[in-house]
Structure 1
């Protein structure tokens, strides 16, 4: 993994070296999540892809920094650091809250021309314009713990460790506030980049209709893949999810390739 040497390496974790000229896959975690959650994915896709896992403030080695409570502020910060270096062809992959962050970064990339966006892979999240009133961030600590335990996204040992919980809860609360108070821009132009959606068949937070509604945010190709499991279906389906991401990236790349006259 690259050592932190500036804003770019503060925000992005490259766990495995990539081949020269490899396309970037920017990976955005869920609420309360951190970059190492995607370490197996990064190892599986390198060196073919340059996998950059985003580390949000307020957790792990960034725990001294305040977590971001407004989703658009988080998007702005990730976007600014991303385009501070040559971006080249890029695919954005986000799970749960990370899917919304990926969508908003994609909008900025297309509006600004700051990078060559090939596609977006959204996992475990309803379409951005499908608003639902949620107030997990207003619960007490026990209420937030009950929420994450119910979604099975956190190791049971970590939930039982009082010190770990005390460190994690401020970031969890901030992330939930960010995603629960987010509202998509009314009448926003659809993305031109293709979108792939991955979802768990028994996800209590994302119905099949919620997942398919992502088709409404792109004028490009839309694909939907479902897997057995709940909100964190990818915990038990890593090989299948990795294969689905690789297939989507290949499809994005083929669609973007210039056609012969």
Structure 2
């Protein structure tokens, strides 16, 4: 069991009692909670946005990063379960999408509330493995791959001091992603909204469409003009689209008959 202080470090903002629905957000490999800065302002006031901060980055840079999907999901479940007294959705980009999926499955296994919707972005369906793993490469080769993927700022890649600081976290995230194996289980029941980048070389449209095999609910797909990191570069399109999903859910809550 994590201490209260440790659990609070995973959530930059404590969930508000007035939330009608909560959106928990998970970052991509090498990313942190700051990826979701400004999202709260883009969504209806009834929605609480709660980015989850994994250890080993940003305000948790001094902590040991986690290298196992199972360990990561178990830790995240401890953090979110106390805040599932409201309907909630999970959002994840790339690795974050697969973490969100496994978190939903774990919550189901332990008898907790299920997400009202899973929102995945820039991610192959979880049963499709990474075709070219890089987490095991020597540092120089690993750094070359990071530069090719273009998700790590060049200022970090060019500085030996900075890259040495960030390498443990980056390698841990890629290890989580590339050693992850989707164990067969019954599909989720919640609907899935999927976003993809038209120029994304890491998650092709047909690989994103394959999320349909992991739920009995409705699956919708929206392709955004951009590369793998459209979550940052095309916020002007992504945030209104996510907001529409949230507004539709909030309006359904308003229309429900009072008990």
TM-score for both structures, normalised by structure 1: 0.88
Q: Match of 1:137, SS?
A: coil
User: Residue 5 of structure 2 aligns with which residue?
Assistant: 6
Q: 1:136 aligns with which of 134, 137, 140?
A: 134
Offset at 1:46? 6.5
What 5-or-longer segments of structure 2 have no aligned partner?
A: none
The total of aligned residue pairs comes to 255
Moved more, 160-169 or 64-73: 160-169
Offset at 1:35? 0.7
Offset at 1:72? 1.4
User: Residue 34 of structure 1 aligns with which residue?
Assistant: 32
Q: Match of 2:222, SS?
A: strand
Q: How many angstroms apart in 2 are the aligned matches of 1:165 and 1:69?
A: 18
Q: Deviations over 1:18-51 (max 9, x none)?
A: 6822411100001111111211323423744211
TM-score for both structures, normalised by structure 2: 0.89
Alignment of 1:87-236 (within 5 A): 87-186=85-184, 188-236=185-233
What 5-or-longer segments of structure 1 have no aligned partner?
A: none
Offset at 1:240? 1.0
Offset at 1:150? 2.0
Q: 2:68 aligns with which of 55, 67, 70?
A: 70
> Which of structure 1's runs of 4+ aligned residues deviate more than 6 A?
255-260
Moved more, 128-137 or 233-242: 128-137
